[in-house]
Each structure stands twice: as structure tokens, then as C-alpha cells.
Structure 1
Amino acid sequence: MSQEKLPTRPADIYLRFLHLVDALRTLPTLGPLDAREERVLTVVACAAQAHQRLSVRDLMAQEHLGAPATIHARVTAMRKKGWLTLTDTEDTRRKQVDLTPAALAYFDELSGLLVKAAEGR
């Protein structure tokens, strides 16, 4: 009975994780993200994890994500792809950015893949 070789370096675990993530991205659950959209998704996910409210305006103020108009266009595209949702706040001019249930499920899948990669499966 052959046994799969376990990772010997921490980089092996990370590279295995990236390989598993590539396979996950081919599943047709949500629309694909470009690199800038992935950065926006990460910011939204981190804010959600920290129980911080994040508005579209808050996102547009983060210069590392790009120009405000570009960020706004990305948020619009990510809503259409099923990654983000906007909810009303007490100020009707501001919308809070949240992950959709499908995006949360995606992060659950990523977590499982990270565990799988670390276990060498």
C-alpha cells in the first residue's frame, strides 16, 4: 500500500494549499474574481471577522485597493457575481458591505483545504 509523502517544509504545505484552492476555483458556485476583487473580498472578510461595520465609502477610502471609482466598480461586479451584498444603515446614503452566504461557504471551504493541506491529505 503506497503512502503519500508528507510535506517536509512549511512551503510544501502552502503550495499544496494553493493547488487545492485552484481546484476549488473551478467549481461553478460563484463568479471568478480578479486580483483586485480578491483584495476587496479579503478586506470585507477581515472586517466581518472582527465584527466591524464596513461601508462602501470605507472601502473606497482604502487607497491600497485602488481609486475610489475602481473600488466602487469592483463592489458592483462582486455583487453581481454573488460574493457581496449591501445592506442599509441608519444613514440612507451609506450601505454596509457584507459577505453573502455563498462567500462565507467559500471561506469555510478554504479553511477545510488549509487543514487538508497541513495534514498532507
Structure 2
Amino acid sequence: MKRPADIYLRFLQLAEALRGLPALPVLDPLEEKILEFVARATQKNDRLSVRDMMAHSELGSPATLHARVTSMREKGWLTLTDTEDARRKQIELTPAALKHFDKLAEAFAKAAKGS
């Protein structure tokens, strides 16, 4: 029987192989953190605006956050959509980003299966 650590390490190996695929440009560590933050909000069906994200200081200063969101939009990970308030934009994952999470889930299932 495999130890949980073996499964996790296998998953990390498979996830790293996914990063090498030419789907979307690589994210820096802060962008990865932002992506995970947006994904968790999406999973909970929470609406998330740039202003909402600024309340989370662990994601960086407002200027840093704006720069990273802009970078992630240019790389194809995030999109901004209009809300009822024209001054507020909702942050959403792109279809390509959602596909990336699907591939990670498949890698995790494969690691857990041991194949």
C-alpha cells in the first residue's frame, strides 16, 4: 500500500509535467496564489471583484495585484466581466484555466490510483 506522501509526490510529478505542456504561459508564485484564490471563489459561486481581492493583503499591495491580474489576463488565465456597477469588474477564470484545473484533477486521480 502506498503512503499518502507517495501519492502526493506522484501528483506533484504529474502536475509538473502539465506545466511543460504549451497550454497557457507559466505563472509566477504570486500569480499561482491569485489563481487559486479566484478558483476557490469560483467553486463557492462567490462573485469576486478586483476590489474584493484588494482586501486580502496576502495577495500583495493594490498596485501589485493590479499588475498581476493584468499579466494573468494577457496570459489567458483570467478575464474581467462587467457588473451592475460599471466601476467594478468581476474576475473569472477563462475556459483554458478551467481546463488546467481539470487536468490537475486527472493527475491527482492518476496519482491516487498509482498508475
| TM tier, smaller | over 0.9
Q: Structure 1 stretches (4+) deviating beyond 6 angstroms?
A: none
For 1:86 and 1:64, how far apart are their aligned partners in 2? 21
Q: CA deviation at 1:66?
A: 1.1
2:4 to 7, 10, 17: 10
Q: Which structure's CA Rg is the greater one?
A: 1
One of 97, 110, 115 as aligned partner of 1:116: 110
TM-score (norm 1): 0.93
Q: Aligned equivalents of 1:57 and 1:30: distance in 2?
A: 26
Structure 1: runs of 5 or more not aligned:
1-6
Q: What residue number does 1:26 align with? A: 20
Structure 2 spans left out of the alignment, 5+ residues: none
**1:16-95 alignment runs, 5 A limit:** 16-95=10-89
Q: 1:62-115: per-residue Cα shift (whole Å, max 9, x none)?
A: 111111110110000000000000000000000000000000000000000000
CA RMSD in angstroms, aligned pairs only:
0.8
TM-score, normalising length: structure 2: 0.97
Q: Distance in 2 between matches of 1:10 and 1:29?
A: 29
Q: C-alpha separation between the residues in 2 aligned to 1:61 and 1:25?
A: 30
Q: Percent identity?
A: 64
Count of paired positions: 115
